[in-house]
Chains A and B, each alone.
Chain A
């Protein structure tokens, strides 16, 4: 069912689309922070799917981006 138990994801940004609205930093503060010009800096570290809170906030950030510049990418977490 819905919960994926293995693997992880990274949040990816298309910098061409991004216009610096800054919604992502409010919706997913543990994965995104803003630089001095208001553009998002992503941590780039893979997050396991088992981290439900991070996963939920990332989905909010992706849905909440006015430019649809964010994307969730699956990665394999190597132990």
Chain B
């Protein structure tokens, strides 16, 4: 039993090696009660994959579908290069994630569970294979769990792309004209949940909804995993209760005491000025500032860095990660990256580039099949707002030391095909 206000929760009992099934039973105890949707609803758990949608609503939607077979898909793809929470979680408590997935399968009446990890992540694949094997040996029959390894792409972790992969071996997002949309593998409805969400469900299954609600706020109860990187002395994954002030979280990672801004929510997130650092870390408090918890990523930008350069590098990478299905995303995101590069190179048309950025942001927003372009637009818009003064310096051609250095804050992977950024 974990105490009601004790942290960590999903990382409880982490030893540096994944817990075996016997250790797991010892640490967390047996599953408490039969799967019920009411328990999920009372807990108020929201998804930890980025959108923050209520988990019970999704489960209810899939549970109401008729179908011979149903799927629960555990999304541990983690396309975000700055996020490490899913691999940390599976490297610590893989059975907690699987418990949660089996509980969700019981709630919606699913007979198959697909756990998805990107194939560039062999350590996590190993841990999960081992965990599934342990479960098979205990029950002495084949489990409903299966492991899938889609390719590592940013959009491959998007839920419709993941289901598309399981259905048709194509990691491309699907067009969903109206929401809520029931994703299907063949004819079978699929419930997609993030690995961390499943781990929280595994805890709710043991200790109940009221225990879960003892941390966090009314609308976002519980705790969340946060991957902190950038100008910090200990880049790490922390588990924090919702509504913890941002400054406290940063202090635990040994961050720069006087940063310029932080990037919240990941590469499709938003910059937050450092004067808002006393804001509680939950979606309700961050929403008026145009930001959200997202996928639980915090990147700290020091005063010595340049936010425009970081935004440009992230945007360029995100443009390259577009699936190139929808025109506004395939052409618009490289155009945004080019405009940002014009700004930082202090060229003659920097002022024009700034005006074009604003226009193109509104031209791209909401015109893709998935939310990938919207995320980039949110990032660029927040950068235009937070770094407005610094952009003015760039437009006037003042020297910016950070944009000439090769030391950067955001660990953006190198582009595979830099030359062919614009697709045709």
Q: Is there an interface contact between A15 and B174, defined as CB atoms closer than 8 Å?
A: no
Q: How many A-B residue pairs have CB under 8 A?
A: 42
Query: How distant is A30 from chain B, measured CB to nearest CB, in Å?
Result: 19
Asked if A15 and B363 make an inter-chain contact with CB atoms under 8 angstroms apart, the answer reads: no
| Contact-size category for A | 10 to 19
Q: Mark B152-196, 1 if CB is under 8 A from A, else 0.
A: 000000000000000000001111010000000000000000000
* A41 lies within 8 A of B367 (CB): yes
Asked if residues A18 and B177 are in contact (CB atoms below 8 Å), the reply is: no
Stretch from A32-40, A45-53, A55-63 at the B interface: A32-40
Q: Are B325 and A15 in contact (CB under 8 A)?
A: yes
- The answer to whether B177 and A37 touch across the interface, beta carbons within 8 angstroms, is no
Residues of B within 8 A of A39 (CB): 326-328, 331, 367
Q: Are B175 and A37 in touch, CB under 8 angstroms?
A: no
Contact call B325/A16, Cβ cutoff below 8 A: yes
Residues of B within 8 A of A16 (CB): 172-175, 325-326, 369
Q: Return chain B residues, CB-CB under 8 Å to A20.
A: 327
Beta-carbon contact of B177 and A15 below 8 Å: no
Asked if B332 CB lies within 8 Å of chain A CBs, one says yes
CA distance A16 to B372 in the complex (A): 13
Q: Given the known A-B contacts A14-B177, A16-B369, are A37 and B331 also in contact in the complex, defined by CB atoms under 8 Å?
A: yes
Most buried by B among A12, A17, A37, A38: A37
Closest A residue to B332 by beta carbon equals A37
A41 to B366, CA, bound (A): 11
The interface residues of chain B lying within 8 Å CB-to-CB of A17 are 175
Write out the residue numbers on chain B whose beta carbons fall within 8 Å of the beta carbon of A41: 363, 367
Complex Cα distance A36/B356, Å?
11
Instruction: Indicate if the CB atoms of A12 and B177 lie closer than 8 Å.
Output: yes
Task: Give the residues in chain A near B360, CB-CB below 8 Å.
Answer: 36
**CB-CB < 8 A to A35: which residues of B?**
328, 363
Find out whether the CB atom of B332 lies under 8 angstroms from the CB atom of A15.
no
Task: Name the residue of chain B whose CB is nearest to the CB of A39.
Answer: B327
Are B175 and A14 in contact, with the CB atoms below 8 A? yes
Q: How far is A75 from B328 in the complex, measured between Cα atoms in Å?
A: 26
**Contacting residues of chain A (1-48) with chain B, CB-CB under 8 angstroms:** 12, 14-20, 35-39, 41
B11 to chain A, nearest CB (A): 39
Pairwise interchain contact A15-B368, C-beta atoms closer than 8 A? yes
Q: Are A38 and B363 in contact (CB under 8 A)?
A: no
* A3 CB to nearest chain B CB (Å): 27
CB distance from B226 to the nearest CB of A (A): 33
Assembly CA distance A16 to B160 (angstroms): 13
B363 touches A36 (CB 8 A): yes
Judge whether A15 and B331 touch: CB under 8 Å. Answer: no
Q: When chains A and B are docked, how far (Å) is the Cα of A11 from the Cα of B332? A: 23
| B174–chain A nearest beta-carbon distance, Å | 7
Among candidates A12, A18, A36, A38, residue contacting B326 with C-beta atoms closer than 8 Å:
A18
Determine if A37 and B326 form an interchain contact, defined as CB atoms under 8 angstroms apart: no
Which A residues fall within an 8 A CB radius of B?
12, 14-20, 35-39, 41
Query: Would you list the 6 A-B pairs with minimal beta carbon distance, nearest first?
Result: A39-B327, A15-B326, A37-B331, A16-B175, A16-B325, A16-B369
Given A14-B175, A36-B335, 15 other A-B residues pairs in contact with their CB atoms under 8 A: A15-B367, A16-B173, A16-B326, A16-B369, A18-B326, A18-B327, A20-B327, A35-B328, A37-B327, A37-B332, A39-B326, A39-B328, A39-B331, A39-B367, A41-B367
| 29 residue pairs from A and B, CB less than 8 Å apart | A14-B175, A14-B177, A15-B175, A15-B325, A15-B326, A15-B327, A15-B328, A15-B367, A15-B368, A16-B172, A16-B173, A16-B325, A16-B369, A17-B175, A18-B326, A18-B327, A20-B327, A35-B328, A35-B363, A36-B335, A37-B327, A37-B328, A37-B332, A37-B335, A39-B326, A39-B327, A39-B331, A39-B367, A41-B367
